[in-house]
Amino acid sequence: MPYDPSLPPPEVNILLLGDEEVGKSTFLSRLSLGIRPRDDDLPPYSLPILRDSDQPFTFNISLYNRAYTLAFSDTASPTSYTLLRPDFIVLCYDISRRSTLESLRTRWLPIVNSHFNYDEALPVMVLGLKRDKRREWTDEEKSNGGRGESIMPQEGLGIATEMLCDRYAECSAITGDLCKEVLEDVARTCARTTTENGAKSQGASCVVM
């Protein structure tokens, strides 16, 4: 259908899932600064405080010469998140805490599969937050055949692929590292949800540098 600028922009509902304290609220605060920060808006950012009672948080963007409204909710939504019908789900974990990544597999993915199975084309992204807190594994951890507490990019991407998620990305909302790239990737995926073919892709793509 041809784009009609006289019509209200399509609204895309996005749900952020993940354990407590993984950084979802900080990410949403960062998002409120916009997809493209001003030239003088340099990291570290002064992030606004958002109130959970104001969810969903809505942001208007322009992409591919079209206007869109993105509506973000997370697990603190005033409406139980299990009752929402998102167009896009983002599974969030804390890069510095291994347990939060494992929780995506054992807790949050089953919730997605049971509560949000109304659309086989529903895109799902895995997003690693608090990238600035990643620490290299020690020699002792490596020599024992183990892994450190921090998740390395290739490991996060591998888990996202195993979970059959569509995208994988990382960022730090506090420092701004990769936030612009992640937010643009989120926006592109949201834009594709409004097309006839939807946003589902073949395998997990990756936004990590």
Confidence of residue 118 (pLDDT cuts 50, 70, 90): confident
Residue 87 pLDDT exceeds 80: yes
Q: How far does Cα 101 stand from its chain's mean position? A: 13
- Distance of CA 52 to CAs 15, 73, 107, 138, Å? 13, 9, 22, 39
Give whichever of 9-13, 32-36, 97-101 has the largest mean pLDDT.
Answer: 97-101
Place of tokens 């998740």: 151
Segment 62-82, tens digit of pLDDT: 877 888 899 999 999 999 999
How many angstroms separate the CA atoms of 202 and 196, rounded?
A: 16
Q: What is the mean pLDDT of the chain?
A: 85
How many angstroms separate the CA atoms of 199 and 13, rounded?
A: 13
- Distance of CA 90 to CAs 99, 127, 201, Å? 17, 7, 15
Answer whether 0.95 is exceeded by the pTM. no
**What is the pLDDT, as a whole number, of residue 1?**
46
Query: For the chain, what percent of residues have pLDDT higher than 70?
Result: 84
State the DSSP H helix or E strand holding residue 11, giving kind and residue range, or none if neither. strand 11-17
Segment 166-199, tens digit of pLDDT: 999 999 998 888 988 998 899 899 888 887 666 5
Confidence of residue 17 (pLDDT cuts 50, 70, 90): very high
Residue 200 in contact with residue 175, Cβ under 8 Å? no
Mean pLDDT along residues 2-9: 69
